[in-house]
Chain A
């Protein structure tokens, strides 16, 4: 019965002179997964950047660089990542383009090819992160903007903690 009904639907629609897109005012559930919203794309980019930052700190710690301070800052970056991930809700099947290819490149760089991580490099990364977050918060919804601003403020304090 169900198969017969499904088979008959195009005939019925054609008879009525309609297409499925004219029957439903909302998004077409048969058209595939929806495109991610601009906020999702921005959030995904921020998450990728945070992951890259964590990787950078881990590399620095692995090389024995100022462990006490770095471990504390790394812990805060992990908190940032957790909070950002909690804000990301993506329907199954949605393809979210990678907005920050450099993050992937950093994550997969082999030890022999990865550039040496210095305190100066961490400081520069924190400074860049803070500035980038402020640029990105201009267009997202208010509570996400506030989260970005708070993380940017944290990153700004990290610059000082690293001697900047």
Chain B
């Protein structure tokens, strides 16, 4: 048999989507901060990704509503994980945000609905690619904690 490491109870689709929505909201806020410290092509990338996260938020909001739940509202302010004062820290923040988004979509992959799983997996790929862009390197297991 394949080894098991998953939860005994099925993952709630609404809960997983709400977590992804929260991660997207945090990314939207964070990119606003990071973008202010970037210039040139990096700033353009940040703007493009910010727009993408807004679209993803709208998609998730519609999906949650479609399941009969109320999408959680974004926070007015988010505490940054570290001070952002230059290009390097702005890029580090962007990678941090994308890692959070990747982890959140990984939660959707654990739900029983096959279409949602595929949706989550493809969203993970997009976030992992953006994280790799900011980090300048790839990772073996995006979104997974190797404990």
Contacts and interface: CB of A to CB of B under 8 A. Distances in A.
Interface in B89-147: 102, 106, 109-112, 114, 117-118, 120-122, 124-125, 127-129, 131-133, 137-144
Which of the four size classes fits the interface of chain A?
35 or more
B3 A154 contact: no
A130 B128 CA distance: 12
Interface in A137-164: 137-154, 156-158, 160-161
B2 interface: yes
Contacts of A141: 2, 4, 6
Given A142-B7, A142-B11, A143-B110, A153 B2 contact: no
Interface of A: 37, 39-40, 43, 72-73, 75-76, 79-80, 83, 86-90, 130, 133-134, 137-154, 156-158, 160-161
Complex A-B, nearest 6 residue pairs according to Cβ-Cβ distance, in ascending order:
A143-B6, A153-B128, A156-B125, A142-B110, A76-B140, A149-B121
Given A90-B1, A149-B124, A157-B142, 13 more contacts: A75-B140, A139-B114, A143-B110, A149-B120, A150-B141, A153-B125, A153-B127, A153-B128, A154-B128, A156-B128, A157-B139, A160-B129, A161-B132
